[in-house]
Structure formats: C-alpha cells, structure tokens
Amino acid sequence: MSLTRRNFLKTGLATACAACATQVPLPASAAPKSDRELATLIDMRKCIGCEACVDACREANELKVPEPRKPFPKMYPPRVKAEDWSEPDRRAVQDRLTPYNWTFIQEATVTVNGEETTLTFPRRCMHCQNPPCADLCPWGAARKLKNGITLIHSDICLGGSKCKSVCPWDIPQRQTGVGLYLDLLPALAGNGVMYKCDRCYQRIEQGELPACIEACPEDVQTIGPREEIVAEAHRLAKEENLYIYGETENGGTNTLYLSPVPFDQIEAAIEKGPGRPHMEPVENQMAHADNLAKAMLIAPLAGLAAAVGRVYKTVKNAEGRPEEDR
C-alpha cells in the first residue's frame, strides 16, 4: 500500500503511540546508570593546537551538516531571529562551535611551575551523564544512548533551542532553514535544527574510534568505559599533581579534562562567549526537583512527539519517491 497523508492520519498516531514507549522511557537522570558508558580523557598537557581533530571532525561529519532552504520563512513573533552559518565564510569558521564546526581548539595562557605556558585543548559537547538537553527536550529530538553518547536527531528537531538554554555550557548551535519545522509550522515553530558533537556514534557502532581521537598525532584523548577513564584520571592526577574537570560537573560528564593548573586559572584565561564554553564548576542541573519533575512529565510526551515526527518524516520521504518505488 502506498504511503499517503491519508494513510498517515489513519495509522500514524497508533504507530507513534506504540513507538512512544521505546523512544524516551525515562529521563536519563532517572534511569539506572550503565557501568559501560564510554568516556574520554583529554590531557591538556599533550595538545599542540594543530587542529587535526577539528579537521577530522568536519570531514567525518560532512554529510550531517545542514543545507538550508532559502529564503528563510518570516518568523512570528519577530523577536525569533534567524541564525545562518551556511555562507562560505561562516561555514569555514573553526575558532568556535557552530552548526558546521562541532569541535574547536580553546587556549589558555597560564603559569605552570613558574613559567608562562599556553595550553591548547579541544572543546565540544561534554556528553553529560544526566544531560538536561535530552531530559528536557519537549520534542524528544535529543537523546542519551546507552553507551553514554548524547545526540540530537536532526530529522525530528524543530530548533526550539531548549537544549541550548538548559546546557550549562551552551553547546548546541542552531541553523535556520532546515528541518521538520519547514513542513509543519514554518512561521511559528522552532526556526531550524540544533547541532553539536555526537561523538561519531556511527563510527563507534562500527567498532571505530571517533574521528577526532583517531586523527590526533599526540594521543591527547583516550576513550574507554567511564569507570576506567575516571580511575586513570585519578591515577595521573595523584602521580603528576594534576587537576580534573568533568568528573562531577553537572552531575558527571563523559568528557574529562586533565590540567597542570587549577581550573579556575583556566577559566580566567580562556576566551568565552557564544560558541566558546566556560570551565566553571557546574552543579547537577537535573538534581533540582523541579527539573526532574519536568523531565518525568516531558518524557512520555517527548516520546510521542518523536514518534509522530518520525512517522511524518517517513510519509514525506515516501511521497517524494516514484509510485513504483513505494
């Protein structure tokens, strides 16, 4: 039977409801933690700022980046501004996070053992253990996988930017003119799709390393089960008088940094602002009762929304194919 909007109206909601139970069964903050979540350890002493990781990330994910449709729909209310990084000069930006640049090199000039030293280190999504971006996305577009990766499904994201507003580091970045909102409510919906590092989940599924880790000539990053990465971070910190960031920030992340100086010195020395995250201490956002309550309420609705979005996307794609291919 060919897929049409009529078929969608007859069967789509039932399919969505059935899928709802598996989309977001529990917010990550309420789900049991797996001891096999993957984490990365970034040794800031080793990075030479060559940007090999940045280039590798861009190459590995070039098919995921947005290709917006222009002109952009006029948004209501007018205060909702378009965000466009698609022009060649903006696509090429590598000194901050953008929808086209999911990893960048941050630097901090600090004093190490009495000598002024410039540390360089890659910044990207922290892949939190209790990610508020996933727990509080009302459309179910952001999700934490069992292996600890948090990703945004671009095919159902409406670009509402909730994930960015609840992220302690303001990591996700929006591109206007792409995504499901163009088909649903182009003047009223979220205004695009949010993008961030997904830790090359497709490569990990194939048993490969994330592109940034594989390309690094200095072995700056180590990946492995979180409990092993945390243990290694503590071993090095104790033996070599180092400091750890990410173990407890926001309730614990799956990205840990090792520094030869305290992180308040790093925080004071780095350039911060849009697309350039801070390194301040961060309390667990999902430990607040109101956020956890919101997550528990949102979870089934987000699951339903995600399922409906996927069914709609399937119908639209099917209707775009020739009749004989359906």
CATH number (domain holding residue 132): 3.30.70.20
- The verdict on residue 286 lying in a domain is yes
In angstroms, the Cα distances linking 279 to 43, 148, 216, 244 are 15, 21, 23, 11
The 10 Å Cβ neighbour count of residue 12 is 19
- The verdict on residue 326 lying in a domain is no
Q: Which residues pair with 256 in a beta bridge?
A: 41
Q: Are 2 and 259 a contacting pair, CB within 8 Å?
A: no
Q: What is the pTM of this model?
A: 0.85
Q: Are 40 and 211 a contacting pair, CB within 8 Å?
A: no
Full domain range(s) for residue 101? 5-318
Q: Tell me the C-alpha distance between 279 and 262, whole Å.
A: 11
pLDDT (mean) for 162-172: 95
Q: Which residues pair with 109 in a beta bridge?
A: 118
More confident residue, 112 or 324: 112
Amino acid occupying residue 82: A
Q: Give the position of tokens 């970045």.
A: 173
Q: CB-based contacts of 288: which residues, under 8 Å, 6+ apart?
A: none
Residue 179, token pair as written in the block: 């995504």
- The verdict on residue 324 lying in a domain is no
pLDDT (mean) for 212-220: 98
* pLDDT of res. 268: 98
pLDDT (mean) for 246-254: 97
Q: Are 95 and 120 a contacting pair, CB within 8 Å?
A: no
Q: Are 85 and 99 a contacting pair, CB within 8 Å?
A: yes
- The verdict on residue 325 lying in a domain is no
Q: Minimum mean pLDDT among 28-37, 153-162, 301-310: which range?
A: 301-310
Q: Are 269 and 110 a contacting pair, CB within 8 Å?
A: yes
* pLDDT of res. 318: 63
Chain centroid to CA 242: 27
Whether 280 has a pLDDT exceeding 90, the answer reads yes
Q: Which residues pair with 258 in a beta bridge?
A: 43, 244
SS3 content of the chain, % helix, strand, coil (to 5): 35, 15, 45
User: Would you place residue 16 in the very low, low, confident or very high pLDDT band (cuts 50, 70, 90)?
Assistant: very low
User: Would you place residue 19 in the very low, low, confident or very high pLDDT band (cuts 50, 70, 90)?
Assistant: very low
Residue 28, token pair as written in the block: 């990550």
**150-152 vs 193-195, strand pairing mode:** unpaired
- The verdict on residue 60 lying in a domain is yes
- The verdict on residue 104 lying in a domain is yes
- The verdict on residue 284 lying in a domain is yes
| Dihedral of the alpha carbons of 66, 71, 76, 82, in degrees to the nearest 10 | 50
Query: Using alpha carbons only, what angle is made at residue 24 by residues 82 and 97, rounded to the nearest 5 degrees?
Result: 35
Number of domains in the chain: 1
Q: Tell me the percentage of the chain whose pLDDT exceeds 90.
A: 64
In angstroms, the Cα distances linking 286 to 83, 98, 205, 207 are 28, 26, 28, 31
Q: Give the position of tokens 């790093």.
A: 266
- The verdict on residue 323 lying in a domain is no
Strand residue runs (E) in 48-124: 104-112, 115-123
Chain centroid to CA 314: 24
User: Would you place residue 270 in the very low, low, confident or very high pLDDT band (cuts 50, 70, 90)?
Assistant: very high
